[in-house]
């Protein structure tokens, strides 16, 4: 059987090249079918390539090299996998009876020598050696302490103080999009805060039953996704995009949820959030986050969102101004929950509070609409019954 080529798979019409960031196997390894072989970084996503057949792999491209879609980066010899005899674990003899030559071990350079113990010096050695002075145990009374010589510090090479590496295609694209969002949109941010007491009480009361029934935990994000859908319905201007001199109004609710990975921030889109229950939203978020962190996210998973939610609170952020995810007109930033004194019915009480930040494109969304949107989110979080009654 001929060698099977390992090629860079197609990633979408807009992606023509990428960087082979990492090999998961070494040259000459025997791989299994569907085993992950390499990690490919493009300007939009990071994904893994897998083996289409078992066999011995020969690498043709080094890690870090730029590659084209369809380029051959390795070959797999299926026959090498079949030629490996199965060896009995008891006898060490192959199943077909052929002799197996054990792997040759390299000779060890070190040779063990028995310790002969202390030896008495010969008379000649005694005569040749100078008279030994008794070792000083410590400075006695009136004795002089010898000065200690301190070695001068050795300057470190400049290479040890800095590391220089090229931006990955994904990081370059993220940088370009962030700068473009700042330059092309009239971005403005409005703030509010939400009392998380009601949501936290619901989670504490129903968490165990929720997990038993759905196999996934009830988190805060599903509440905010539902609250955002509710607010988008009430303020449709936030659910629109600008296309040249046309306003495109969206009548669907595909919400992007930002996920932090080792390769950068990704925003997988949760589809049809208006039709999903809390369990469906939680499961969809968990699945998307897992695939994003494992490098198995696809380009289709990242496209088509109408609004984005990002949660800096999981890293301890108290307040921020999130950057728009073009061409969307709004993004909601969540922050850390902290207990703070607040006034309730004329009394100062301690409540778990979260700051909310809505960044929006002022070309499409007026200040009144942005503030109304954020108030609707706040009300839905503080009074979750509103989500059931759509008020």
**Residues identified as active-site:** 362, 366
- HEC assignment per residue over 46-81: EEEEECCCCEEEEECCCCCCEEECCCEEEEEEHHHH
């Amino acid at each position: 059987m001929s060698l099977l080529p390992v090629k860079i798979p197609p990633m979408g019409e807009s992606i023509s090249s990428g960087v082979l960031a990492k090999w998961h196997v070494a040259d000459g390894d025997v791989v299994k079918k569907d085993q992950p072989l390499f990690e490919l970084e493009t300007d939009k996503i990071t994904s893994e390539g897998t083996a289409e057949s078992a066999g011995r792999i020969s690498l043709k491209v080094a890690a870090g090299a730029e590659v084209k879609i369809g380029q051959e980066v390795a070959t797999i010899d299926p026959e090498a996998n079949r030629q490996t005899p199965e060896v009995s674990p008891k006898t060490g003899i192959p199943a077909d009876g052929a002799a197996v030559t054990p792997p040759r071990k390299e000779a060890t350079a070190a040779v063990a020598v028995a310790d002969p113990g202390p030896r008495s010096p010969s008379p000649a050695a005694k005569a040749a050696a100078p008279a030994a002075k008794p070792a000083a145990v410590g400075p006695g009374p009136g004795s002089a302490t010898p000065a200690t010589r301190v070695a001068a510090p050795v300057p470190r090479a400049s290479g040890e103080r800095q590391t220089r590496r090229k931006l990955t295609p994904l990081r370059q694209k993220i940088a370009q999009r962030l700068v473009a969002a700042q330059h092309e949109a009239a971005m403005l941010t409005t703030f509010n805060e939400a009392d998380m007491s009601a949501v936290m009480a619901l989670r504490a009361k129903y968490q165990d039953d929720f997990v038993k029934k759905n196999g996934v935990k009830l988190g805060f994000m599903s509440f905010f996704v539902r609250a955002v859908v509710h607010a988008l319905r009430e303020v449709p201007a936030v659910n629109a995009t600008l296309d040249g001199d046309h306003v495109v109004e969206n009548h669907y609710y595909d919400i992007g949820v930002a996920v932090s990975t080792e390769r950068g921030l990704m925003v997988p889109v949760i589809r049809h959030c208006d039709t999903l229950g809390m369990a469906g939203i939680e499961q969809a978020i968990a699945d998307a986050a897992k695939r994003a962190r494992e490098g198995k996210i696809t380009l289709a998973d990242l496209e088509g969102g109408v609004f984005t939610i990002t949660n800096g609170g999981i890293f301890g952020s108290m307040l921020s101004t999130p950057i728009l995810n073009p061409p969307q007109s709004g993004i909601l930033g969540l922050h850390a929950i902290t207990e703070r004194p607040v006034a309730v019915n004329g009394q100062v009480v301690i409540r778990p509070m979260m700051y909310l930040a809505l960044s929006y494109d002022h070309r499409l969304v007026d200040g009144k609409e942005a503030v109304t949107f954020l108030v609707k989110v706040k009300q839905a979080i503080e009074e979750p019954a509103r989500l059931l009654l759509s008020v």
